[in-house]
Amino acid sequence: MTIRDVLVPFIDAELDEPVLDAVEAMEVFADAHLTALVISALPAPIAAADASMSAAMIGEVIAQVREEGARTAARLRERAKSPALEVQAIESWSHAAVDAAIAAARHRDITVMAIAPRNRETGVRNDVFEGVLMESGRGLLALPTGVKPPKAFKRIMIAWDATREAVRATVAAAPFFDRADAIKIVTVDAHPSPRGLDEAPGAEFAAHLARGGRDVEVLNLDGQGRQISEVILSAAVDMDADLIVMGAFHHARLQQAIFGGVTRTLLETTRIPLLLAH
């Protein structure tokens, strides 16, 4: 499989420009058309008023957002030396900007975004990240801030539980598999089920991936009471993985918000890129 179109949303240029640098350097994206989508999410006047902002303050914030978006778009257009990089800009109220980002992601093969550190997270960034992941139907490659990914992912770990989300993640990861030296399918506390894992969890899926001539290994792990996210990260470190592929947010959003979850914990702790799909 070949990746033809890649989306890189720009919400905070300091975080997002290194993502574009990484995408341009990666072999799997060498022949792809790249779209840098500059998102200027304007605060809705009603919401801003609810936050006790005066009309003058709202105007200042809107002007600042517009100015920053225009600067970012202009700088990106200057660096676009070939038709392979296209710069688009969205200026809209926050909810509409998120919808536009989701629509743009649906028309690309994959979206690549930075995992923002806690002190740099914003509502718009979180909404775009979650919206693209949950609603675009496409894979999302999430890069930890400050971690430069390799030109090609050579050691890929698949966190496998035979769910729809895991299947979609592996489909999105297929172009990366073709360039890998080793792929390890990891299950945690796996048990056979009629609609999921077989008697030897992961074995049938490993055989499927290996038919393409790939080197695939299965590792069934006993969590021993640890959090699944901890087991996954530990296994990834042990194999020196440079990419983790996994399905995201299996449960309802309310459950995730209240109880957390594997996906959210990994996003908060990983230093290894994640390829996610829902």
Band of residue 254 on the pLDDT scale cut at 50, 70, 90: very low
Write phi, then psi, for 150 (nearest 5 degrees). -70, 165
pLDDT at 259: 35
- Of residues 196 and 278, more confidence is placed in 278
163 and 116 in a common domain: no
pLDDT at 42: 87
pLDDT at 249: 78
pLDDT at 258: 36
**Predicted confidence (pLDDT) per residue in 54-99, tens digit:** 777 878 888 888 899 999 999 999 887 667 899 999 998 888 999 9
Q: Which domain holds residue 219?
A: 155-277
**Predicted confidence (pLDDT) per residue in 103-118, tens digit:** 999 999 999 999 998 8
Whole-prediction pTM: 0.91
| Identity of the amino acid at 74 | A
Residue 175 has pLDDT above 90, yes or no: yes
CATH number, position 226: 3.40.50.620
135 and 46 in a common domain: yes
Residues 6+ apart with CB under 8 A from 115: 142, 143, 144, 145, 267, 270, 274
Residue 199 has pLDDT above 80, yes or no: no
Task: Classify residue 19: in a domain, yes or no.
Answer: yes
User: Taking residues 233-257, what's their average pLDDT?
Assistant: 81
SS3 assignment, position 139:
strand
Tokens describing residue 103: 């629509």
Residues 180 and 212: their CA atoms lie apart, in Å, by 12
**Residues of the chain above pLDDT 90, percent:** 69
Residue 15 has pLDDT above 90, yes or no: yes
Task: Classify residue 150: in a domain, yes or no.
Answer: no
pLDDT at 183: 97
Q: Which of 196-200, 240-244, 260-264 has the lowest mean pLDDT?
A: 196-200
pLDDT at 196: 67
73 and 199 in a common domain: no
CA pseudo-torsion sign 23, 111, 126, 267 = negative
166 and 57 in a common domain: no
Q: Which of 91, 116, 144 is the last residue of a domain?
A: 144
Task: Classify residue 149: in a domain, yes or no.
Answer: no
User: Taking residues 150-161, what's their average pLDDT?
Assistant: 96
pLDDT at 45: 62
How much is the mean pLDDT over the chain?
A: 89
Residues 190 and 255: their CA atoms lie apart, in Å, by 22
**Predicted confidence (pLDDT) per residue in 179-193, tens digit:** 999 999 999 998 877
Residues 219 and 223: their CA atoms lie apart, in Å, by 12
Q: Which of 144, 175, 200 is the last residue of a domain?
A: 144
Name residue, tokens 């309310």: 254
174 and 194 in a common domain: yes
**Predicted confidence (pLDDT) per residue in 21-48, tens digit:** 999 999 999 999 999 999 998 887 655 5
Count the domains in the chain.
2
Task: Classify residue 179: in a domain, yes or no.
Answer: yes
Q: Which of 144, 171, 190 is the last residue of a domain?
A: 144
